[in-house]
A and B are shown apart, each in its own frame.
Chain A
Amino acid sequence: MPADLASVVGLFGRELHRAGIPVSPSESAQLARVVQVCDPLTVDQLYWCARVSLLRSPDQVPEFNAVFALVFRGLADVAEHRGQEPTALRSESRPPRQAAGEQGSERQPAGPADTRAGPVGEEGAEVEQHALRALASSEERLRHADLGALSDAELAEVAPLLHQLLTTLPTRRTRRRHRHPRGDRLDVRATIRRSIRSGGDPVLAVRRSRRRRPRRLVALLDISGSMEPYARAWLHLLWGAATVARAEVFVFGTRLTRLTPVLRTRSPQQALARAGRAMPDWSGGTRIGHNLKAFMHRYGRSGMAHGAVVLVVSDGWERDDPAVLGAQMEAIARRAHRVVWVNPRVAAPGFSPDTAGMQAVLPFCDDLLSGHSVEALAEVVAALGGDRQVSSRHTGR
């Protein structure tokens, strides 16, 4: 590979990395191979060569275009830095966007919510029992205290218990089959292999049945001003959900942000610190319907909400037209397995869901819970784990 090409490719890769698009050395090598075989003569051709080999998601296109313009379209002369560190380019010093940058290097702790039908039921239930017992033995004050009133230290105490609660989610049958003594189908390969012991006569029939897998959990958390004291606590719980139960976590205030990749780390402090950086509008206003529409448009439409358990944590104080909110909840309810709405105001004495927002969403929710204290959380967990009941939602299902 000519030395010029190598340095240019390396430089470009570094700049992309700085802009938050993770580029590994193997991808830079891929770019070099692509450039060699395509032999681009114009900048546009080079653009497509680079995009095809380095980009992995259409969400990264604006950043990619910006870096490409910086490096190749004359804003910076690469020839100036041949053979040295490009200190001039670094003068922009954008802090690396960790939200995107560390996506590739995360591991998920293999929690009890792994997918084996028999064991997960028992293991999950055991862990849950343990967690509930631990909760029961922690201070009375903490147990009944309003989550919004807990200090950071108290929250940190409660957090590890919270995250163990989400181990049982409703399951669904998958198409993948595994060995099971009373399965409905014959496993021909295994039966024949077993028959070797009996001289070629298939004496023992090995059966297979469908595996059960937990349903996906999609959590949408309102982080506007009115929800502020509770949102912190709920973020802890959802951190647990994102790691243990592999949930998808979104937050919204003025706009919707997908927090799942940011939350998937081992340490809750780290996850929340990153979440704080990734959420630009902590404590802004609320446009619930608008944000739910954004969710459906970008993620729900391509099937994320399909058959999932959807959890919305919000007080339902809608700034915009509640009809939009109702329409979006209907669309979600039509696709989801269960819809659980958590509103901390429910716990207040004399509460009745008569704001326009709550009225609009109530027909489409399977449960309306308060989720305002540690004890109430156990209720929420039970609601999330419930299997399909006869739904009285107004969607005709």
Chain B
Amino acid sequence: MSVIHLTYEVSGDDFTRAGEASGMVKSKLKKLGYNKDAIRRVAIAMYEAEINMVIHADGGVVDVDIYPDKVEVVLADKGPGIPDVKKAMQEGYSTAPDNVRNLGFGAGMGLPNIKKYTDEMKIETTLGVGTTMYLTVLVKQ
């Protein structure tokens, strides 16, 4: 049973608001006294995943479960799906459009960063239906 459950909606194509949900989770964890490193890893992984939803999937829903020893984040979208997950996981591989690159995104580091900062990462994706990503960050107190 989780200590706290949070749900956020990420709106599509709105880069100014991306990061709000991860920011709120960050301050929540801070208030709860979680260690800095764990908070940072959750916040970055979640932000990258949020940005992916904004760029590729016209938004989606984020569910966060906070446990004493771990934080689980589930991000579900109804976007186009990822045709080749293995390729998408490679550093530098990006299908982001130019307008996104001008904002400093689209470096092809999103999924690799998520992998780097989480202890578990699972992607379920179906072309034309959507993508759900399951992330776990273990908290070592």
A associates with B: no
